[in-house]
Amino acid sequence: MSDLLLRILDTPQAPLILQRAQAILDREARNRQKFYKWRDEDKKAEFINGEVVVHSPALHRHNSTMLLLASLLNMYVNDRKLGLVLAEKALVELTRNSYEPDVCFFGTEKASQITDDQLYYPAPDFIAEVLSKSTEKYDRETKFADYAAHKVAEYWIIDPLRRTIEQYEIDADTEEYALCGS
């Protein structure tokens, strides 16, 4: 990202580019507030790069994969008192976007800050997204980059059709995701 910023700052149009970018971000912020007012607990929707993305009901294989992982992870975390596991309806609020990850985990430090009446959550320590045709591009591109930028330590992309899990962790040197296993 810093290379891109340096290239922008090297151009005479830098002030105009930055002014236009700020106007777009201001409009997105207003749209995000509208999204929060429109959204309710019955809607499966996310706010991604200024747009409301409404998700259709998931296939059985998606739901069963998500529920199995959430159940196993929740039992493990509760048994060892490691924090909090949430599934599907937790709205994670990042700098620009708001996502509903399929499964997420907050370690004890972050979990201790979460209240019973909480509606929006900070960046978790772990996120798993179960792929579907309608979400794969977001899961592999936008969310992948956004989760890394917000220091989500571990990110899994689960493909229930191929029965694979891609495991990514933040690389300390590059601060980007590196594939750890699949």
CATH number, position 97: 3.90.1570.10
Pairing of strands 45-48, 51-54: antiparallel
Beta bridge partners, 86, equal: 104
Task: For residue 85, tell me if it sits in a domain.
Answer: yes
At residue 58, the pLDDT reads 85
At residue 1, the pLDDT reads 56
The pTM of the full predicted model, rounded to 2 decimals, is 0.89
Task: For residue 16, tell me if it sits in a domain.
Answer: no
Task: For residue 37, tell me if it sits in a domain.
Answer: no
Owner of token pair 């891609």: 166
Tell me the per-residue pLDDT of 97-116, one tens digit each, with 9 for 90 and over.
Answer: 999 999 999 999 999 999 99
Tell me the per-residue pLDDT of 26-63, one tens digit each, with 9 for 90 and over.
Answer: 999 999 999 999 988 788 899 999 999 998 888 899 99
CA 113 to each of CA 43, 117, 122: distance values in angstroms, whole numbers, following the listed order: 25, 12, 10
pLDDT for 10 beyond 60: yes
At residue 124, the pLDDT reads 98
Structure tokens belonging to residue 102: 């399929």
User: In whole angstroms, what is the distance from residue 99 CA to residue 91 CA?
Assistant: 6
In terms of residue numbers, what domain contains 100? 56-181
- Confidence at 74, pLDDT banded by 50, 70, 90: very high
Mean pLDDT of the chain: 93
Task: For residue 44, tell me if it sits in a domain.
Answer: no
Task: For residue 25, tell me if it sits in a domain.
Answer: no
Q: Which percentage of the chain shows pLDDT scores above 70?
A: 98
Q: What average pLDDT score do residues 139-152 get?
A: 96
Number of domains into which the chain is organized: 1
Structure tokens belonging to residue 61: 């294989």
Task: For residue 126, tell me if it sits in a domain.
Answer: yes
pLDDT for 182 beyond 80: no
Q: For the chain, what is the largest distance between any 2 Cα atoms, rounded to a whole number of angstroms? A: 59
Task: For residue 26, tell me if it sits in a domain.
Answer: no
Task: For residue 15, tell me if it sits in a domain.
Answer: no
User: In whole angstroms, what is the distance from residue 112 CA to residue 94 CA?
Assistant: 19
